[in-house]
Structure 1
Amino acid sequence: MLTIEEVGCKGGDNVSANSFYDAKWRESGEFRPKIVAYYYKQWEDFHMGFHQHDWAEFMYVISGNCTVETDKDIVAMRKGDLIMLDAGVPHRLIVESGSPCRMLNVEFGFQPCDGIYPSMSQLANHNPMFAKLLEQRLDTIVLRDYEDIQVNLRNLVFELDLNRESAERGREMMTNLLMSQLLVRVARLVAVEAKNSAERQIHHYVRQATEYIHQYYDTAILAKDIAAAVNLHPVYLQRIFKSNMNKTINEYLVELRIEKAKMLLARTDVPIIEVADHIGLNSRQYFSMLFKKMTGITPAEYRNSKKTITSWNDYEVEIVDNN
């Protein structure tokens, strides 16, 4: 393990055992991240016991596969994945036999700092996504296959290596800037992942709603019935449906019913006066008015324009004897 002692900041080398999310890092003066240790190691057939640190930790998978287990979750990790564990989170590493895993670990706490180094309060005050991350208080953050994270970590470790060989203040400053950049980038990616997850959930609800409409369009369904079917408040479902489909639930339902009516008129001999019942409308007069509004012609005019033969009696069948 390579331990990095940094210079140029007030407060000595003591590393707090408090959480990354502790408000005192932003409200009790100017504090910045302090890298406590970093190390590369290749693991194989290794089952670590549960343990915890007094500082936060990044674990990045350079190659291979492993599992990081916390007291709340089990996370399968592969090449390019990053996990960030808050201080005090019980965890262990599991690497199976025959599948070596090479990892980079960076552990950090906080210390008081003067000068130009970005402080936690500065980062939070000037970066809304970072401030949001601090509000979320996530014990574990997992980011999958982001190449820029690897680049950031590689540059950070390069500077840390140089710091071990030189006490030049400029290099120590670069280390702190890269660490701040890494934290801000993690905050942005967490926000992106949260947005993508929310969008996936919204698409799921909208898809469920459209499936329900296609299944029950021929009944007297209402928007509240569809919302109940997908376990959402009707107003919220209406909003996300309109946002994703560029039409309201009622507009979608009406268009579907008219398309089904056109199919019945063109391909079957169902009497026009009965088509309304087949598409879930209880008023034949309303159906005719709605159909003309949507198509520009009446149901009878539409059927006449198609002249589709659907009865076997309308076909002349020639039987050919091949013997």
Structure 2
Amino acid sequence: MLERKYSLYDPLWREGGDYRPHIVAYYYKQWVDFHMDVHAHDAIEIMYVISGTCVVEIETETGERAQSITMRKGDLILLDAGVPHCLIVEKDSPCRMLNIEFTFTDCDGIYPSMKQLVEHNAPLTQLLDRHQSSIVLRDPSDIHHILKSIVMEIDTGGSHHESMTHLLISQLLVRVARLAAEEPEDRAGASLHQRYVRQAAEYMHQHYDCDIQVKDIAAAVSLHPVYLQRIFRATMHMTITEYLAELRVEKAKMLLARTDIPIIDIADYIGLNSRQYFSMLFKKVTGLSPAAYRKSIEIRRHG
């Protein structure tokens, strides 16, 4: 087993000085019928499943198997430095992954440091206090987007991209920490159904400005549309369509109240192609037309 020189949980990163994460390796890989030898890295690793299925086996320091984790599309695993592990991909289920490995380095004028991130982010503090050699999480979609952005910035190259790469990996660690903070709640009683419903809701909050349909939301959480609609309604006591409509109306109310965007353009900002349908939906939910709502806000503001 490797000495954990760059362990995520080394107190030096948040107490000793100003250090920042530094990516040392990154790659996409399509694995087919592959059984990897047990190995360990002198870096922290994040393995993200883009498609397919794989098994990650983790061993103890004495060579005994500690965990066998089945991972599917949208799953990620964070492995601390020095953790012995291997990847298994069966012949009939190819697996495409995006991996990054990172260590820590002096800030060198590029901030925020880990110390600053921890000081202002409770979930990150909690994550570092857990000292878990591996953490498996389900991504609602934004972590995949951050990972792809990191790779694009590095591939683009140039010194001016280093600051952006650092900001992105800092964002990545904060987001991973938030997801990890939700895990105890799931183990304490929140069902798998509730987890899928939460991910579907998060997807709608991130894409309400697009022309999304139930099939798109279901694909984002890797469920059949009919099944997702059933568990969503049982959990939220409304359909996905009703939830998305109310969400869009709430966003429209904010735009009407806090911006001077013309009413005729608001529909485009909330993912509706029909201005007539927007007006009808808004009035159905609020009892007021968009124009009347904006006027009422102005009256209250100056009254």
TM-score range, shorter chain: 0.5 to 0.7
Runs (4+) of structure 1 moved beyond 6 Å?
A: none
1:78 aligns with 2:69: no
Deviation at 1:156, TM superposition (A): 1.2
Whether the 8 Å contact between 1:81 and 1:146 is mirrored in structure 2 is no
1:126 aligns with 2:141: no
1:176 maps to 166
What whole-Å deviation, never above 9, does each CA across 1:251-278 have from its counterpart, x for those lacking one? xxxxxxxxxxxxxxxxxxxxxxxxxxxx
Which entry has the higher C-alpha Rg, 1 or 2? 1
Among 35, 39, 63, which residue is 1:51 paired with?
39
1:197 maps to 187
SS in 1 for 2:188: helix
Whichever residue aligns with residue 192 of structure 1, its letter is E
Whether the 8 Å contact between 1:79 and 1:145 is mirrored in structure 2 is no
**Whole-angstrom distance in 1 between the partners of 2:165 and 2:147:** 11
Whether the 8 Å contact between 1:83 and 1:143 is mirrored in structure 2 is yes
Deviation at 1:100, TM superposition (A): 1.0
Q: Map residues 37-186 of structure 1 onto 2, 5 A cutoff.
A: 37-71=25-59, 72-163=66-157, 166=158, 168-169=159-160, 171-186=161-176
1:20 aligns with 2:23: no
Whichever residue aligns with residue 147 of structure 1, its letter is S
TM-score, structure 2 length as denominator?
Answer: 0.58
Q: Percent identity?
A: 58
Whether the 8 Å contact between 1:56 and 1:84 is mirrored in structure 2 is yes
SS in 2 for 1:64: strand
Deviation at 1:116, TM superposition (A): 4.1
TM-score, structure 1 length as denominator?
Answer: 0.55
**Whole-angstrom distance in 2 between the partners of 1:42 and 1:174:** 27
Q: Map residues 288-299 of structure 1 onto 2, 5 A cutoff.
A: none
Q: Unaligned regions of 5+ residues in structure 2, if any?
A: 60-65, 192-303
Q: Unaligned regions of 5+ residues in structure 1, if any?
A: 1-15, 202-323
Root mean square deviation, CA, Å:
1.7
Q: What is the total number of aligned residue pairs between the two structures?
A: 183
**Whole-angstrom distance in 2 between the partners of 1:144 and 1:188:** 12
**Whole-angstrom distance in 2 between the partners of 1:127 and 1:20:** 16
